[in-house]
Copies of this chain bind each other. A is one copy, B any other.
Amino acid sequence: MGSRQRRGDTRQRIQDVAVELFAEQGYEKTSLREIAERLDVTKAALYYHFKTKEDILISLFDDLTRPMDELIEWGRGQPHILDTKQELLRRYSLALTQAAPLFRFMQENQATIRELSIGESFKDRMLKMLEIIKDPDAPLADQVRCVSALFTMHAGMFALKDMEGDPEDKRKAVLEVAIELVTQAHSDPHTA
């Protein structure tokens, strides 16, 4: 019965277990044997669903990069005004929350990801988001504020895990600080 219900969703189950283990132990330290054992299948079965180990990782990122791409596309269609920037952060915050484990993984395995084909593409996306909220002619400190806004959002949620309080409250607090940073960077009158 249990095995009947599982018919056809093996691919999804692999992804679920992979996200969990990758986030917990890192990509390199997680072996396919481990994933297979948790699912009670053989390693070879994984290869029916994915061509390589890296392929599993890439498939996970697809769920993550799609919302980001949409976000970027949306942002580019908007005027470069403060409101756009703030809204971008708001939407990004929600996207992050939904793909939290994957982001935690990304945050903690940058060295690994950098070498993977996915690394470049992700960095690209981050730069594109920065382009939307950042003014290249602004003073250095303002540019740092924008970078910091994004990083704060990435790190914030995981770094705050041991702090007491409702997760949603924490998300809002992080978002508030990020928006503030961007607002400050935007409104700062600069004479470059």
Partner of A147, one of B23, B105, B115, B159: B159
- Give how many A residues have a beta carbon under 8 Å from the other chain's beta carbons: 38
Give the contacts of A128-169 with B (CB-CB under 8 A): 139-141, 143-145, 147-148, 151-152, 155-156, 159-160, 163, 165, 169
Q: B165 touching A144 by the CB < 8 A rule?
A: no
Most interface-central of A25, A115, A140 (chain B CB within 10 A): A140
Q: A108 touching B115 by the CB < 8 A rule?
A: no
Which stretch from A6-14, A65-73, A89-97, A171-179 is at the chain B interface?
A171-179
Q: B29 touching A174 by the CB < 8 A rule?
A: no
Copies in the complex: 4
- Chain B residues whose C-beta falls within 8 Å of the C-beta of A109 in the assembled complex: 108-111
Closest B residue to A111 by beta carbon equals B26
**CB of A38 within 8 A of chain B?**
no
- Chain B residues whose C-beta falls within 8 Å of the C-beta of A156 in the assembled complex: 144, 147-148, 151
Q: B26 touching A112 by the CB < 8 A rule?
A: yes
Partner of A143, one of B145, B155, B163: B163
Per-residue B-contact encoding for A89-131, CB less than 8 Å = 1, 0 else: 0000000000000000101111110110000000000000000
CA–CA, A106 to B126, complex, Å?
20
Q: B152 touching A159 by the CB < 8 A rule?
A: no
Interchain Cβ contacts under 8 Å between A and B, 15 examples: A23-B111, A108-B110, A140-B173, A143-B173, A144-B156, A144-B173, A144-B174, A144-B177, A147-B159, A147-B160, A148-B148, A148-B156, A151-B152, A151-B156, A152-B152
